[in-house]
Amino acid sequence: MKLSRTVIYAVQATLQLAETGSATPVPCSQLAADGRMPERFLLQILRHLVTHGILHSTRGVEGGYTLDRPPEKISLLQLIEAIDGPMQAEVQTGDKQPLPCEAPLREALVKITNSARESLDQVKLSDLMGQHAS
């Protein structure tokens, strides 16, 4: 499985927020500087996380971002799908007529994808805390 840089930045930012343990909002500029991430790109990522109910955004001079729920209630699957969309099995041959192997291949990929989704859903943000270098 390969994670995009966007997903990695999302994980980094949420880990930073989780590890602050503060209810005080953290500005995007601080998250970007502390996590060595490009601020403008991170801002887009944080907006996705707000839209998906992972983060809460507070506007104004004292504004910034906080976790919307405890780290043990945020899964790696939720972070990945907030950024990349739902994980699903795909078989694309480009042919108008399906090849004989497509149905069994699709069935196998669905099982693998479901298993991966279950595994990723079991990994919580709290499991990753303290295991990264900021």
Q: For the chain, how many residues are written? A: 134
Section 78-95 average pLDDT: 84
The predicted model gives 91-103 an average pLDDT of: 72
Report whether 51 contacts 65 (CB < 8 A): no
Residue at token pair 């799908």: 81
Cβ atoms of 72 and 122 within 8 Å: the answer is no
Where are any strands of DSSP class E within 20-67? Answer: 55-58, 64-67
Tens digits of per-residue pLDDT, 5-48?
A: 999 999 999 999 999 887 899 999 999 999 999 999 999 999 99
Q: What is the pLDDT averaged over residues 101-122?
A: 90
5-128 adopts what CATH topology?
Arc Repressor Mutant, subunit A (1.10.10)
* Predicted local distance difference test score (pLDDT) of residue 114: 92
> Could you give the C-alpha distances from 48 to 51, 67, 82, in angstroms and in order?
5, 13, 6
Average of per-residue pLDDT values in the chain? 90
Can you give the pLDDT at residue 133?
Answer: 47
Mean pLDDT of all residues in 56-85: 94
Instruction: Count CB neighbours of 106 within 10 A.
Output: 14
Question: Under the phi-then-psi rule, with left for phi > 0, alpha for psi from -120 to 50, and beta for the rest, what region is 37?
Answer: beta
Which residues are 57's β-sheet partners?
65
Residue holding tokens 């927020």? 17
pLDDT score for 71: 95
